Amino acid sequence: MRWYVPNEQLYMYRMKKKPPSMPLNDCIVQYKQTGDEKFLQYFLHFYESALNKRTEDFCEKYGRLNHFQDIKQVIVTTLITLIEKYDPDKGASLITYIEKYVVAAVHDYIRQNCGVLCISEYDYDNLRKITAIFGVLSEATEAERLQKAMEETGLPEKAVREHIQYSEMFQYSESLRPAGGATMRTSIYS
């Protein structure tokens, strides 16, 4: 997914001059003890690659690749909000401490701004089958692909069309790629 996200969004917290090396949690402990925001900047600088990966995971899971920057900011805002409540003496790192809060905040963001798509495991399996059919039969007409998907899954046309819409939302998801590596990038509506 990295090719899809502009560098400005990937490296929002990169400092021009590399900060002194220190463990992530030490940056937060120093920030809490001194109130000096440079330690928070150090933390964000060092944490950004993991933050990007976490953000990509959320974007892919919910099929919202165009919300990368917003979801990344939700995670950072949650982190900054919870620093005051965080107690390093309890043994957990800040990242571990905030995990459930981050998940809840991202779910709230998705619900409020994107809508949520939930499908059952059975439907997900059908979604993978239909995506594979459309990827493998790329030379066939849209009608032929639709017919083949209906035959393979046993679903009516309306259900297959709904699955096709879902697949477009998750078109960059690795778990939906057929064996040949192609993803379904075409719509039967085009």
Q: Which tokens sit at 170? A: 């998750």
Q: What is the CA 21 to chain-centroid distance, rounded?
A: 28
Same domain, 96 and 125: no
The answer as to whether 100 is a domain residue is yes
What SS3 state is found at 180? coil
Residue 181 region, left (φ>0) first, then alpha (ψ -120 to 50), else beta?
Answer: left
What SS3 state is found at 27? helix
**Around Cβ 154, how many Cβ atoms within 10 Å?**
9
Same domain, 127 and 68: no
The answer as to whether 185 is a domain residue is no
Same domain, 76 and 163: no
CB half-sphere exposure, 142, CA atoms < 13 A: 10
Q: Could you give the residue ranges of the DSSP H alpha helices within the chain? A: 7-10, 24-34, 37-62, 68-82, 94-113, 121-136, 142-153, 157-169
* 131 within 8 A of 176, measured Cβ to Cβ: yes
Same domain, 60 and 19: yes
Same domain, 78 and 150: no
The answer as to whether 186 is a domain residue is no
Same domain, 128 and 69: no
N-term to C-term CA, the chain: 24
The answer as to whether 169 is a domain residue is yes
pLDDT in tens, the chain (190 residues): 555 788 888 899 999 999 999 999 999 999 999 999 999 999 999 999 999 999 998 888 777 778 889 999 999 999 999 999 999 888 889 999 999 999 989 888 887 777 545 566 777 788 888 888 877 887 888 888 889 889 988 988 888 887 776 666 555 444 444 444 444 333 333 3
Same domain, 107 and 129: no
User: Can you tell me the distance from the alpha carbon of 14 to that of 46, in angstroms, rounded to the nearest whole number?
Assistant: 8
* 8 within 8 A of 48, measured Cβ to Cβ: no
* pLDDT given at position 178: 42
Contacting residues for 116 by C-beta, under 8 A, at least 6 apart: 62, 107, 110
Same domain, 132 and 42: no
DSSP 8-state symbol, 153: H
* pLDDT given at position 41: 95
Same domain, 60 and 97: yes
Q: Which tokens sit at 54? A: 């976490």
> Considering its fold, how many domains does the chain have in total?
2
Q: Which tokens sit at 102? A: 């981050």
Answer with the one of 94, 113, 132 that is the final residue of a domain: 113
The model carries a pTM of 0.60
Contacting residues for 9 by C-beta, under 8 A, at least 6 apart: 68, 69, 72
Same domain, 31 and 93: yes
The answer as to whether 105 is a domain residue is yes
The answer as to whether 29 is a domain residue is yes
